[in-house]
Structure 1
């Protein structure tokens, strides 16, 4: 499907989901996941006004970032190896996959060297699937306590991936669980600042995620296709 066709269809679905949830459409941002598409298609995505680009691996993203890095806002949404932190911090405005203390230390160190603050989402494995990365929810409080002194990391949100379900409604408890963890974090004021965002929902289940409070949805096949 061409972007000229997919973008209006996705927009309509987002608007309808927001209406069902009584939310303002402007509360939800799209990350166009370009990991499966070419350099050329990534350029077209940006030309069509989708300014937030999501990539999973630096090896795959490098050529795209070098070509278009100043034309959009880049989100690192995949599992981040500590030895790749040097390539990602400073290039990607957001890291959606902070899930362990060793990674936090490397991000903080690199951000400090660059004189910047890394904007991070903590990834949580709400569903408990062994195949998924992310902190178990029961380790969340301890992790927050361990990283809150990291001066060059700002926790801007929480992220999760729901299991693929034939019926998207089945993902609702996962998204609701992430929202409840975010709300509890804010109530307890552990970090001393508000954590506003929820990065959740992909092509198969983004409408349910929006109904449960997603502020960033990560859309690949339904929006930009595959090549």
Structure 2
């Protein structure tokens, strides 16, 4: 995204319009659909462009990388952990993220519950379920 001709604001507007059309076509309220910009492993410049375009919800897949990237930019931003979480990183993840989307095993659920209680946090968790029972997938 180092292309100087790329217009992040226009691209975001286009994506939101496509989401609205798809939601309406499915009989859903477009306001019930959330656009999450995945900022993992991206240089700061395109992420800053997305912020400037009004994007406030971002997904990251690594706790330490997210902490380094967002430590000075947390104001008004919702951060979601979208990658697998190791139990030894649960304390940092609970303290840093607003949402953890990858709760995929019972042991992690217990560790997260203990950390959420210890830290007095109100954190949203999404349970990942492997409904197809595919061995290569978590949940």
TM-score range, shorter chain: 0.7 to 0.9
Structure 2 residue corresponding to 1:42, chosen from 24, 42, 47: 47
Work out which structure has the larger RCO, using CA pairs closer than 8 Å and 6 or more positions apart in sequence: 1
Distance 2:80 2:132 in 1: 23
Q: Does 1:20 align with 2:22?
A: no
- Using structure 2 for the length normalisation, give the TM-score: 0.86
Structure 1 residue corresponding to 2:72, chosen from 42, 45, 67: 67
Which digits, 9 at most, give the CA deviation of each residue in 1:114-161, with x for residues without a partner? 112332100112344433222xxxxxxxxxxxxxxxxxxxxxxxxxxx
Task: Report matched runs for 1:78-157 at 5 Å.
Answer: 78-134=83-139
Which digits, 9 at most, give the CA deviation of each residue in 1:6-61, with x for residues without a partner? 11221221111012112211111111110131123222222211111110111321
After superposition, the Cα gap between the structure-2 partners of 1:127 and 1:72, relative to the gap in structure 1 and judged at 3 Å, is same
Distance 2:137 2:44 in 1: 28
- Using structure 1 for the length normalisation, give the TM-score: 0.55
The CA RMSD over aligned residues, in Å, is 1.6
Provide the secondary structure at the position in 2 that maps to 1:29: coil
| Residues paired across the two proteins, number | 134
Distance 1:7 1:118 in 2: 27
